[in-house]
Structure 1
Amino acid sequence: MELQQAPPRQTSTTRHDARREVVRHLDRLRPQVIMPARGFIRYPYCIPGGFYEQQWDWDGFFISCHLASRDPARPEYLKYWTLNVLNSVLPDGDVAACISTEGVRARLPSLRLKPFLAQGAELAGRLGGDDSWLVPHYDEIVRIVTRREASHRDAATGLYAWEDAMSSGADNNVAVTNDPEARRKMAAADVNAFQYREYEALSRLADRLGHAEDARRFATMASKLSAAMMKHLWSPDDVSFWTMDLRDGTWRRRVSYSNFVPLWAGLVPRVHAREMIRRYLWNADHLLSPHGLRSLSARDPDYNNVNMIDPHSNWQGPIWPIVNYFYFTALVRYGFADEAEELVDRLCRLYLDDIEFCGSLHENYDAETGRPLAPSADQSATGREGGFVGWNLLLQDMIEVVEGREHPLFI
């Protein structure tokens, strides 16, 4: 199967100008994501923007990663993110996905921390050149990262499951489902890839802190989880990962963004990853749109671009910048340089249209028209309010990568 042909390319001058214009606006918008310590939150923290004033788990992680890659680098925000998480552990040992100035679980109280803590802690120490602050927190980081083994790991397969789609962060992702009967039974590719990265990060951190036995143990756990994913979630015939329903061992064959997260994590042999990208990602019948890459295949019966934020956001088709960051990393990692550059240029046009529309950005976009969706501030009579900045800032990192910068986040 040939790769989907892209629209005519911009000239190099136009491309350069568009990228510089996007960077100029992101530089202007970036201060909106940084908040001073206040109330319950002890350290400065990162917010998505709009009406979101809380520290969210993966939002805060990826925003802090972006800040750590700036010139000058700001790795302290990964440290602050880590410490704010550690300072919010509940009496029962659980950790919430959302921390507000009023306390833990002030918004969406049932959501628990997604698997990013070890990655944030390890990266903060490494990029900041200082692991000393992590020494007194090491045991607690290990406890939190491995806590999921007792609650969300399937003993028979060795796979991890989400609580439900809402807990995955992709609120209505059809590859997971919010069906109460399927609670903790959807072993999706994304949660297992995130957990794999957690074990890798724990192994590196343990090694640096002098816990050699732990370093070997966590490296082994990462290796076993990778093998379990390839055994139980990878379909050689379909050339894709699928979610496994642990109740009966069947696959949910839905071409969703979550199936591609293992490519972001570097878990897939090159030959398989390249075919998966050709078959589903860079293919207009599935995920490729004129404005970026969809969160769900256009062929899926549930595919839509509904403008929704209540009771949850829509991950059933719209273009999400964070999703495109995962896709972009896969394109770069597996040798699709031209496609990665084309994706950057499509997203630059999308951003510039939105900035012209409202002066800022939105959480997601209609994959067919490029129209901004899900405003993240109180809508005015015109509906022109935007204000979501957050992990949308990662487009600047993507621009830097295609322009040849050695980038600390692409590890």
Structure 2
Amino acid sequence: MDMLHYQTVNACIKELMGKIRQPAQGLFKYPSLTTTAGKFYSAGMFTWDTHHMTLRFAMEGQPEMMKYFLLTMFQFQRSNGFVPCVCSSVDGGSSTSGFHAQPYLAQNAAEYLNLTGDLETVKTIFGNLKKYLEYWLTVYSAPLGLFRWGETWMSGFDNEITGTIFPTGTILPPDLPSLLYLECRAMGFLARKLDLPDAEFEERAKKIRDAVNEYLWDEEAGIYSSRNLCTDKLQTSWSDGFLNSTVGKYAYVSCPSLLVLFAGIADQERAGRMIGTYVLSPDHFRSRFGIRSLSRSSEYYNNARWGNPPRFGDWKRLTNSNWQGPVWIPLNWFVFHGLLRYGFRTEAEKLADDTVELIYKSFQELGFMRENYDAETGEGLYADQFASWNLLADSMHLYLNSPEQAIPLFPWENERKTR
């Protein structure tokens, strides 16, 4: 890695962090973070964006942003456990999103507690976390012990290919149960720290892990895939029986599969096979700029600035969030940690280096970061002055070279080793 490039990216990110921290305002009782330093995404506080941003702030000695994030989210929780995915300082989020907050809140709380030891705050929100998680586990439950998004874009992978092609509710993807597995593990960790029973959460985590391994692993293809409820088959390829077997073979090799590695659900053999065949292959996920959001060998692969189809069923509303090819920093982040987890340290370091070089290129050419990047050229595609999870672009090297400065993402695993 070019150290000057790293230092430049690090300095630019730190400068940007100062621009996106906002004081308490309107209905927000605590300081908050904006997703960009510009005009895009100004509607409110987005769940998975803010979760990742607070990790970066904590690495800079501001862990209180994690606490403020959690307290603000639960400020708008409803009696049934629902938490708006996008919270607004104007109306709380009621007019912005009908989606439940993406499953990162328990992980954020566990990481915060592990970092600060702030039992008082965690005790205050533990009941909220429990209701929020139960809402996920009941409202979005599906056959086979698995789960499904209410709509594809609820995941944040707005136009992910399987959710886009097939009818709503018919696809059981690997990303949601992977995140819920982590949420259950995080809740078990929090319960133990509060001297509360943890068996309920650990048992749920085990059931989810077992279901993913039993029903979402495609042994023939060597990858975790979505299950199609209409056919009761894994939807890795077209596999309709009428076309040559090479046509559509990798049509649905898509980014939700990568979360299984991040969560640590796969065993070493399956993970190694999936990483070798798909994650590191230039024919599939690995671009010289990072991780593609869809296999390059998929017939649907593209790097369009505007994704298909339009959002929310409205043909006039184009979706800028194209997850059918472009590189996104959160995918680099998830895969980086998956590679480290399964012993691919050299490959993880190369991915971290490529991420820094991509963002350096963006700052040099544009003066800011974009939301996503063309996987073949590195061209920035959308959203000026983007911050969000891109703030983590320079932090992967901390996990390699200065782990004491990084935020442990899975504190329950370290706890297990020492208990």
Q: Same fold (TM over 0.5)?
A: yes
**Following TM superposition, by how much is the alpha carbon of 1:108 offset from its aligned partner in structure 2, in angstroms?**
4.4
**Following TM superposition, by how much is the alpha carbon of 1:222 offset from its aligned partner in structure 2, in angstroms?**
0.4
Find the aligned partners of 2:271 and 2:377 in 1 and give their Cα distance: 29
Q: Is the 8 A contact 1:329 1:410 kept in 2?
A: no
1:320 matches 2:318: no
Unaligned runs of 5+ in 2: 237-251, 308-316, 411-419
What is the aligned partner in structure 1 of residue 338 from structure 2?
330
**Following TM superposition, by how much is the alpha carbon of 1:24 offset from its aligned partner in structure 2, in angstroms?**
1.8
Match of 2:218 among 223, 235, 245: 235
AA of the residue aligned to 1:198: E
| Superposition pairs of residues 181-330 of structure 1, within 5 angstroms | 181-183=167-169, 185-212=170-197, 215-253=198-236, 254-308=252-306, 311-312=318-319, 313-330=321-338
Q: TM-score, normalised by structure 1?
A: 0.88
Q: Is the 8 A contact 2:88 2:96 kept in 1?
A: no
Unaligned runs of 5+ in 1: 1-13, 377-385
Q: What CA deviation, in whole Å up to 9, does each residue of 1:188-215 have, x standing for no partner? A: 1110011001100111111111212xx0
Q: Is the 8 A contact 1:291 1:350 kept in 2?
A: yes
Find the aligned partners of 1:167 and 1:178 in 2 and give their Cα distance: 15
AA of the residue aligned to 2:318: P
1:62 matches 2:60: no
What is the aligned partner in structure 2 of residue 26 from structure 1?
13
Find the aligned partners of 1:272 and 1:91 in 2 and give their Cα distance: 41
What is the aligned partner in structure 2 of residue 339 from structure 1?
347
What is the aligned partner in structure 2 of residue 409 from structure 1?
408
What is the aligned partner in structure 1 of residue 100 from structure 2?
112
Find the aligned partners of 2:101 and 2:171 in 1 and give their Cα distance: 17
* Identity level (%): 29
AA of the residue aligned to 1:236: E
AA of the residue aligned to 1:266: G
Find the aligned partners of 1:232 and 1:107 in 2 and give their Cα distance: 37
CA 1:235–1:159 in structure 2 vs 1: closer, same or farther (change >3 Å)? same
1:52 matches 2:50: no
Q: Is the 8 A contact 2:296 2:325 kept in 1?
A: yes
Helix, strand or coil at the partner of 2:162: coil
AA of the residue aligned to 1:256: S
What is the aligned partner in structure 1 of residue 243 from structure 2?
none
CA 1:37–1:259 in structure 2 vs 1: closer, same or farther (change >3 Å)? same
Runs of 4+ in 1 over 4 A off after TM superposition: none
What is the aligned partner in structure 2 of residue 168 from structure 1?
155
Find the aligned partners of 2:255 and 2:222 in 1 and give their Cα distance: 15
Q: Is the 8 A contact 2:152 2:168 kept in 1?
A: no
Match of 1:400 among 398, 401, 409: 398
Q: What CA deviation, in whole Å up to 9, does each residue of 1:12-59 have, x standing for no partner? A: xx6222222221221222212321111122211122113223210111
**Following TM superposition, by how much is the alpha carbon of 1:92 offset from its aligned partner in structure 2, in angstroms?**
5.4
Q: TM-score, normalised by structure 2?
A: 0.87
What is the aligned partner in structure 2 of residue 15 from structure 1?
2
**Following TM superposition, by how much is the alpha carbon of 1:367 offset from its aligned partner in structure 2, in angstroms?**
0.6
Q: What CA deviation, in whole Å up to 9, does each residue of 1:368-388 have, x standing for no partner? A: 1111001x2xxxxxxxxx200
What is the aligned partner in structure 2 of residue 380 from structure 1?
none
Find the aligned partners of 1:41 and 1:177 in 2 and give their Cα distance: 35
AA of the residue aligned to 2:25: R
* Residue range with higher mean Cα deviation, 284-293 or 119-128: 119-128
| RMSD (Å), alpha carbons | 1.8
Aligned residues: 381
| Superposition pairs of residues 139-150 of structure 1, within 5 angstroms | 139-150=127-138
